[in-house]
Structure 1
Amino acid sequence: MECQNQTEAGSQQQEKPLLITSSLLGLPPYVLDPQDLPNSFDPFPGKVGSQFRQVDEDTLVKYGPKVSLAEAEAMDYISRHTSIKCPKVLGAYVLDGRGHIIMSFEHGKSLDEFWENASEKEREVVIEQMQRYMSEMRNIKGDYVGGFNRSPCVAGEFQWDFYHSDHKYGPYPDEFGFNEGVVEALSRASPGPHSTDPESREYNVRYATRQLVHSLRNHEIVFTHGDLNIGNILVQDDMTVVILDWYTAGFYPAYWEWYKATWHGVFQPSFIRQIERFIPPYWIEANIMNQIFNKILG
């Protein structure tokens, strides 16, 4: 009986562990005192939920309830398997439900700040690096759709849940399953119940939308950063390009990178033609997904 009680106690500890670490990354070199990492204002509570604090001149910690070990694992994988420069992961863990990624602090200018004053030659150096980075990344193929290490999908399309639940989207076995997930996200973005009358306008709008989503098919599944906006592309003094914020990284249909890099617009109208040089463009797919996202936002 004593052994059984110990086992039960161990099971309870596993259900609600104080400290969770990554089997891929191992134990972190240290655990930061939570009192040194106060909660800060989150403009999107329950959505991204991440804060940053510099530990020292060369070290940064990203932390919050939505910070995942999968993000740290993706960064570590990219650092070890490609020439892409991203912050070096020094350690990662979840403590009392709040994720922490300890990483190198990368100095530099965001791409928009750099671009304004750069010469044509300097701009070409950056574009060439981005072309190489994207080629390496997209050569990593996936056999599922979702976040890194088979974690759920992370994207705005899956975060506007009317019910504010912890519902997970994916990972999915293929693009069809992913499309079904998008349809489900649309359904959960507005309160139910939904009409089951095939003659009603609502029923037919939902039917047409589902067909529109499922017109996206036969795409390769490739490693995807998922948020290549200018704020996540850093140019250092030696012209090295650093890619930041791998929160949404994973394996997605080949069009997803282009859509997510352009859906919210670009800092200069003409810059979309530069993005087209390093991310393969998918204009039709992006247009469809923009329609879908606008439906989710209502």
Structure 2
Amino acid sequence: MEIQGPTDAGSERQEKPLLITSSLLGPPPYVLDPQDLPDSFDPFPGKIGSQFRQVDEDTLVKYGPKVSLAEAEAMDYVSQHTSIKCPKVLGAYVLNGAGHIIMSFEHDREVVIEQMQRYMSEMRSIKGDYVGGFNRSPCVAGEFQWDFYHSDHKYGPYPDEFGFNEGIMEALSRASPGSDNMDPESREYNERYAIRQLVHSLRNHEIVFTHGDLNTGNILVQDDMTVVILDWYTAGFYPAYWEWYKATWHGLFQPSFIRQVERYIPPYWLETNIMNQMFNKILG
């Protein structure tokens, strides 16, 4: 076991180690930035002390306060000395008390994706007769929430997709006070006009039950590879493209992640391109 950490030059006392690595496995190929991983927590006390997150198309990391270097060393030993199916350990370390095991994702990825495919099929088979939050509550999304925080203004629920599109345009107008009085010959006016036409080209989508925030932080994989979906705050009934847009919109994910999402959420590239333009106009 190797320990690395800063020392205080003005003190004889060595501070608490920051990084611990395995002498059997050697140094990891890289150390992940903790800011790229959701905080390790235990939503089901006594049952979960770790989380899985996808690093790239072929790599998975298991991390949390209950993840140990001994676990990684055991996995590596089993894979080298038996025929038991086990992810290949690429590296392991403990950082600030949280263990991290970086492993191959090939088999486990398929298990997770198969579950997500089933979950999405079940969810999207539930149709809605309005657009908005669950139980006919207002829309909950970044395009609208900024206004709620500032003015308590609510958007929706809407009777159909056309009404929802009008709500999006209302959010844009409220985000830019005075924009309705622009010179009709100005560039900004014509940009707004083009965006309005693009938004209203979004039509004839089914309204389906939608989680609305399926980023990696809300997809928890338990130790037995059971997938648990967290944070249903944004759930409701939205046009069929909304789930894909919200799972991929903010560009923080690697392209390989998006290719995996495409396997369990039907992709809507054109609609997402339009909504990305809207989001950037509303929130800058």
In the alignment, what sits opposite 1:57?
45
SS of 1:205's equivalent in the other structure is helix
2:51 pairs with one of 84, 109, 118: 109
CA 1:244 to 1:198, structure 2 compared with 1: closer, same or farther past 3 Å? same
SS of 2:223's equivalent in the other structure is coil
1:282 pairs with one of 264, 268, 273: 268
Residues 170 and 181 of structure 1 are in contact (CA less than 8 Å); yes or no, is this contact kept in structure 2? yes
How far apart in 2 are the matches of 1:260 and 1:171?
18
In the alignment, what sits opposite 2:211?
225
Q: Which amino acid aligns with 2:166?
A: E
Residues 109 and 234 of structure 1 are in contact (CA less than 8 Å); yes or no, is this contact kept in structure 2? yes
Residues 169 and 181 of structure 1 are in contact (CA less than 8 Å); yes or no, is this contact kept in structure 2? yes
Q: CA-to-partner distance for each residue in 1:203-234, whole Å, 9 max, x for gaps?
A: 33322221111011110000000000000000
Q: How does 1:118-197 map to 2 (within 5 A)?
A: 118-161=104-147, 164-192=150-178, 194-195=180-181, 197=183
SS of 1:194's equivalent in the other structure is helix
Residues 131 and 278 of structure 1 are in contact (CA less than 8 Å); yes or no, is this contact kept in structure 2? yes
2:241 equivalent to 1:255: yes
Q: Which amino acid aligns with 1:109?
A: Q
How far apart in 1 are the matches of 2:218 and 2:43?
20
How far apart in 2 are the matches of 1:145 and 1:119?
37
SS of 2:237's equivalent in the other structure is strand
How many angstroms does 1:176 deviate by?
0.2
CA 1:110 to 1:180, structure 2 compared with 1: closer, same or farther past 3 Å? farther
Kindly tell me the number of residue pairs found equivalent between the two proteins: 200
SS of 2:150's equivalent in the other structure is coil
How far apart in 2 are the matches of 1:281 and 1:293?
18
How many angstroms does 1:164 deviate by?
1.4
How many angstroms does 1:119 deviate by?
3.7
Q: How does 1:16-95 map to 2 (within 5 A)?
A: 57=45
Q: CA-to-partner distance for each residue in 1:119-148, whole Å, 9 max, x for gaps?
A: 411111000000000000000000000000
Q: CA-to-partner distance for each residue in 1:59-96, whole Å, 9 max, x for gaps?
A: xxxxxxxxxxxxxxxxxxxxxxxxxxxxxxxxxxxxxx
How far apart in 2 are the matches of 1:196 and 1:273?
41
Q: Which runs of 5+ in 1 are unaligned?
A: 1-52, 59-104
SS of 1:257's equivalent in the other structure is helix
Q: Which amino acid aligns with 1:112?
A: Q
How many angstroms does 1:106 deviate by?
5.7
How far apart in 2 are the matches of 1:216 and 1:252?
12
SS of 2:208's equivalent in the other structure is strand
Q: Which runs of 5+ in 2 are unaligned?
A: 1-40, 62-102
Q: CA-to-partner distance for each residue in 1:8-56, whole Å, 9 max, x for gaps?
A: xxxxxxxxxxxxxxxxxxxxxxxxxxxxxxxxxxxxxxxxxxxxx9899
The farther-off stretch of 262-271 and 235-244 is: 262-271
CA 1:253 to 1:55, structure 2 compared with 1: closer, same or farther past 3 Å? closer
* TM value normalised by structure 2: 0.65
2:232 equivalent to 1:246: yes
Residues 219 and 228 of structure 2 are in contact (CA less than 8 Å); yes or no, is this contact kept in structure 1? yes
Q: CA-to-partner distance for each residue in 1:136-192, whole Å, 9 max, x for gaps?
A: 000000000000000000000112339910110000000000000000000111222
How many angstroms does 1:200 deviate by?
4.0
- Larger Rg over CA atoms: 2
Q: Which amino acid aligns with 2:249?
A: W
Give the alignment's Cα RMSD to 1 decimal: 2.4
In the alignment, what sits opposite 1:208?
194
Q: CA-to-partner distance for each residue in 1:216-272, whole Å, 9 max, x for gaps?
A: 111000000000000000000111000001110000000000000001125332111
How far apart in 1 are the matches of 2:43 and 2:118?
32
How far apart in 2 are the matches of 1:131 and 1:55?
23
